[in-house]
Amino acid sequence: MKKIALVIATSLLLTACGGGADKPEKREEVQIPVNLACDEGMSEYRVAGTPIQFCYDPAWGTVTTHENPGQAGQSIFVEFDGTGKSPAIHYQSLDYVAPESATEQFCYECLVINAPNDVLTGQVAGALGVGEDKVNVRKADVGGKKAVRVHANYVHSMLGATDTVTYYVPEPFDGYTMEVYGDNEIATEVDDFVYDIVL
């Protein structure tokens, strides 16, 4: 489950013809395209209309996508239809307004990824509405985008006992937020799945 090519931002230094020491340098960012290459026995999937690509274990079943209708915007779940437990992806447009009956949405505006870990832990706990002792938070990366990995273990007022690993990605692509998640008992599979996601 490895990517053959990684996203690499390379700065090229260009100088004018006949350059000299007194001529300013011009810098350009060059984005090297990312190619998804799955290990033998793994399957590959690209989510239509998005840059999301990933490798997955066929034992998880067929990839399914479904929309969670709201009052506005878009909220899409990407899941597997197998009988066992597997990771899942949820991406949502910034203008999404949940139905009135929905549980409260994660507050991405409350999240400052560059904050020190103790501050980040407080932000995540506040966004989830739980005590800081109920979450284990660390900075992460999903497809080259800044993220935070959260192991949360608490009792939710509507969902009951929760013991999950979730990667919160504030800006996976323009106009959207994203979560990659799964039960804590498959934390290794969730982490491996995240490692192979390309955005």
Please state the domain extents for the chain. Answer: 58-195
Parallel, antiparallel, or unpaired: how do β-strands 75-80 and 63-67 relate? antiparallel
At residue 118, what are phi and psi to the nearest 5 degrees? Answer: -65, -35
Whether the CB-CB separation of 90 and 181 falls below 8 Å is answered with yes
Whole-angstrom distance, CA of residue 164 vs CA of residue 101: 23
Whether the CB-CB separation of 15 and 26 falls below 8 Å is answered with yes
Tell whether pTM > 0.85. no
Q: Tell me the pLDDT of the chain averaged across its residues.
A: 85
Q: How many CB atoms lie within 10 A of CB 88?
A: 18
Q: Can you tell me the mean pLDDT for 36-62?
A: 95
28 burial via Cβ count (<10 Å: 0-12, 13-18, 19+): exposed
pLDDT at 101 over 90: no
The model's confidence at residue 25, banded by pLDDT at 50, 70 and 90, is: low
Strands (E) located in 3-157: 9-14, 26-31, 43-46, 53-56, 63-67, 75-80, 88-93, 135-142, 145-156
Give, for 164, the enclosing helix (H) or strand (E): strand 160-169
pLDDT at 13 over 90: no
